Amino acid sequence: MDLLTPHLLSIGPLLTLVAVALLVLLLESIITKSEPVSFWTSVAGLLVSIGIAVPGIAVHGSAFGGMLRTGGSANYFSIIFFICALLTIVFSRDYLKKRDSVFGEFYLLILFATVGMVLMAAAADLIIVFLGIELMSICLYVLAGFIRGSVLSNESSLKYFLLGAFATGFLLYGIALLYGSTGSTSITFLTEHFETYASSRLFLAGIGLLIVGLAFKIGAVPFHMWVPDVYQGAPTPVSGFMATGAKAAAFSIIIGLFAQRFVHGVQIGTLLAILAAASMILGNVVAIAQTNVKRMLAYSSIAHAGYMLTGLAAGNAYGRDGILFYLLAYAFMNLGAFGLISFMEQEGEKHLTFDDYAGLGTTKPFLAVLMSVFMFSLAGIPPFAGFFGKYYIFVGAVQADMTWLAIVGVLMSVVSVFYYLRLVMVMYFQDTLIGQTASYSASSAAFVVLAALILLGLGVFPSSLLAIITTLY
């Protein structure tokens, strides 16, 4: 048993979360009116997990025979996932009441999906990568279709499931080819011996298939087709969770694989740069044409995947730290925006178009101000955190002699201002056509305000977070 104790201690956050999830499972089975109990248990469990993960950031290590990385980036990512899960759970409670689907299983699925994400961030072996991705995805498939009576939700779920499983096939084939050509599934081994195998076609095919699978999960062009449909049909807080948590989880793997030595020597950097540019251009341009707010945010999330890929294509520490900063900021701003949309949404997927937000500035000034904060931050306007995330990433790209990519990014950010600020314009400079109703509890409102304040705080003092990020790898 002594053999096991240090391992168990070092994966504290993961273990706590699994224990909480299993506890909720048990509560769901033995208590008859279990939903409030499950809700508060999940919230408390996530807060405790964050508390355990924060001090662990400073300690780097590995556990279970090199299968898991602990501390450092793994903990940083875990904290992002815990925050995403926490916000999603808080927002979804009001939302599920509106959609007549209040079941404690929702929180359970969010928790298990988060376990999958933490596994992904901690993975030091491709087997764990696969397990984490599947644990996360399977929970998300169900979450997307959680509103059982809604055809839109069903459709979104089936589309996500079929395409997600399809992408998993490619990812797995990539893992198999990497294993076949190197004889190992250890990520550390692969990154260290990249040059040795770079001439093997089997190895390169494996890397390519792996990139296809992961690009699907982050929703980068040309593997983005599912994103708008799934985000639009899924329950609104779940869309937010997929856009932030699931994307951050996939990025944690990509960073672990490609951010260091992997990029150099071969043209993977160029490949990632092309994916990044395509995602930024398509996401931002198509987002302009949208009338549905959820769908607009879906296209904008494709664009954001592009910004983050830019940092990865740069392949230097600046770009990588920029992604880590951006992922945290993105979690707050995007989940905040999706949370507000879920407050506004009415039964039967109504009140989701731009027109429904007309005059919100006078009827519901509180919501309108918060929404404007998130839109400004998403557009990358200072002093909000979104600006600094983009700034670090584009500086990284310029330093890596990818000035063209940085220019594309900046131009596309300008394009994005158009549709983000259109929502703000509609809210403040148009008259209300219909009576607006918004339903939310005090706790959800408190969390949205908190998210907005954190965005402002990170935007004003970005260096305090950046100081932590630079110690992660």
Partner 1 sequence: MLEQYIPIGFMFIVAIIFGIVMSKLSEWLGPKNPNDVKLSTYESGMEPVLSARERVSVKYYMVAMLFILFDIEVVFLYPWAVNFRSLGLFGFVEMLVFTVVLMLGYIYLLKKGALKWQ
Partner 2 sequence: MIPLEYYLSLSAVLFATGVIGVLTRRNAIIVFMSIELMLNAVNLSLVAFSQYLGSTTGQVLVFFVMAVAAAESAIGLAIIIALFRNKQTLNIDELNLLKW
| Binding region for partner 1 (CB under 8 A) | 1, 3-4, 22, 25-26, 28-30
Considering the complex, what minimum distance in angstroms separates the CB of residue 246 from partner 1?
23
On the 0-12 / 13-18 / 19+ scale of CB atoms within 10 A, 337 is: buried
Select from partner 1, partner 2, none the partner in contact with residue 336, using the beta carbon and a kind-dependent cut-off of 5 to 8 Å: none
- Stretch of 74-82, 264-272, 282-290, 338-346 contacting partner 2, by CB under 8 A: 282-290
In one letter, which amino acid is 49?
S
Nearer to partner 2, 90 or 144 (CB): 144
Nearer to partner 1, 13 or 319 (CB): 13
| Sign of the CA dihedral with 199 first, then 202, 204, and 205 last | positive
Nearer to partner 1, 1 or 442 (CB): 1
Nearer to partner 2, 45 or 132 (CB): 132
- Residue 9 host element (H or E): helix 5-10
Considering the complex, what minimum distance in angstroms separates the CB of residue 256 from partner 2?
18
Tell whether residue 288 is a contact of partner 2 (CB under 8 A): no
The DSSP code sequence of 207-268 is: HHHHHHHHHHHHT-TTS-THHHHHHHHS-HHHHHHIIIIIHHHHHHHHHHHHTTGGGSSSTH
- Stretch of 126-134, 191-199, 256-264, 464-472 contacting partner 2, by CB under 8 A: 126-134
Considering the complex, what minimum distance in angstroms separates the CB of residue 299 from partner 2?
9
On the 0-12 / 13-18 / 19+ scale of CB atoms within 10 A, 184 is: middle
Nearer to partner 2, 289 or 450 (CB): 289
Stretch 226-245: interaction string toward partner 2, x if CB under 8 A:
--xx--xx------------
What 3-state DSSP class applies to 473?
coil
Nearer to partner 1, 4 or 162 (CB): 4
Rounded Cα–Cα distance for residues 157 and 137 (Å): 11
Name beta bridge partners: 123. Answer: 68
Enumerate the H helices of 315-441 as residue ranges: 317-344, 360-363, 365-379, 385-399, 403-429
Rounded Cα–Cα distance for residues 378 and 191 (Å): 33
Q: Nearest Cα to 381, choosing from 392, 370, 389? A: 389
Considering the complex, what minimum distance in angstroms separates the CB of residue 275 from partner 2?
21
Query: Could you tell me the two tokens for 106?
Result: 């929702």
Tokens 């956050």, residue? Answer: 13
Considering the complex, what minimum distance in angstroms separates the CB of residue 349 from partner 1?
27
Considering the complex, what minimum distance in angstroms separates the CB of residue 22 from partner 1?
6
Select from partner 1, partner 2, none the partner in contact with residue 29, using the beta carbon and a kind-dependent cut-off of 5 to 8 Å: partner 1
- Non-local CB neighbours of 326 within 8 Å, separated by 6+ positions: 304, 307, 308, 311, 386, 389, 390, 392, 393
DSSP 123: B
Nearer to partner 2, 177 or 255 (CB): 177
Tell whether residue 112 is a contact of partner 2 (CB under 8 A): no
Under 8 Å between Cβ of 153 and 168 = no
Task: Tell which positions 150-189 bind partner 2, by CB under 8 A.
Answer: 150-152, 154-159, 161-162, 165-166, 168-169, 172-173, 175-177, 179-180, 183-185
For partner 2, the binding residue among 34, 279, 290, 444 (CB under 8 A) is 290
What 3-state DSSP class applies to 472?
coil
Nearer to partner 1, 29 or 199 (CB): 29
Nearer to partner 1, 25 or 468 (CB): 25
- In the complex, the residues that contact partner 2 under the rule CB under 8 A are 126-127, 130-131, 134, 138, 141-142, 145, 148-152, 154-159, 161-162, 165-166, 168-169, 172-173, 175-177, 179-180, 183-185, 228-229, 232-233, 286, 289-290, 292, 295
